[in-house]
Amino acid sequence: MPKINKSININAPVEKVFAYVTDPTKGPEWLVGWTEVTDVTGSGVGQHYHWKYNMLGVPLRGETTVSEQVPNKRSVTDSKGGITSTFTFTYAPHEGGTKLDLELHYAIPVPVLGKLAEKLVLKRNQREADVSMENIKERLEV
């Protein structure tokens, strides 16, 4: 299972970053490829929602459950469906702002995309993770 690690410093309080990143309705604003979030139920651990994601022009659907949440410190979501993934965010005060770390484990849907697309997807997902983290930064540093 491929893994992506990213880190970014955001000039915004930890509480603001945590609230934004853990709000699934905000996901399509910052997560590249995520096009829709619906059916959000609950909050904190156990929160559940459905999503649509576009990978290399292939529309995928799935669902996510929050499996761990420590306010302003850590959040973990597990997804299944078109893509199986685990997003782990850690939040820490840093120079008056927030250091946001992402560890992402995911399975590429090879039967859907094909073996030839697998390497392309791996490279593209690295770039898209960079852009997604920058998107969070841009939206919160106002």
At 3, which helix (H) or strand (E)?
A: strand 3-10
Query: Among residues 115, 89, 120, which one has the least CA distance to residue 102?
Result: 89
Q: In 3-state terms, what secondary structure has residue 11?
A: coil
Weakly modelled stretches of the chain, pLDDT under 50: none
Q: Name the residue ranges covered by the structural domains of the chain.
A: 3-140
pLDDT (0 to 100) of residue 29? 97
96 Rama sector, left if φ>0, alpha if ψ -120 to 50, beta otherwise = left
Q: In the prediction, which pLDDT does 111 show?
A: 61
The per-residue pLDDT for 28 is 97
**What integer pLDDT is reported at residue 115 of this predicted model?**
60
pLDDT given for residue 120 in this prediction: 74
pLDDT given for residue 68 in this prediction: 98
Could you tell me the fold of the domain covering 3-140?
Alpha-D-Glucose-1,6-Bisphosphate; Chain A, domain 4 (3.30.530)
Q: What is the pLDDT of residue 142?
A: 76
The DSSP string of 31-94 is STTEEEEEEEE--STT-EEEEEEEETTEEEEEEEEEEEEETTTEEEEEEEESSEEEEEEEEEEE
pLDDT of residue 112: 55
pLDDT at 108: 72
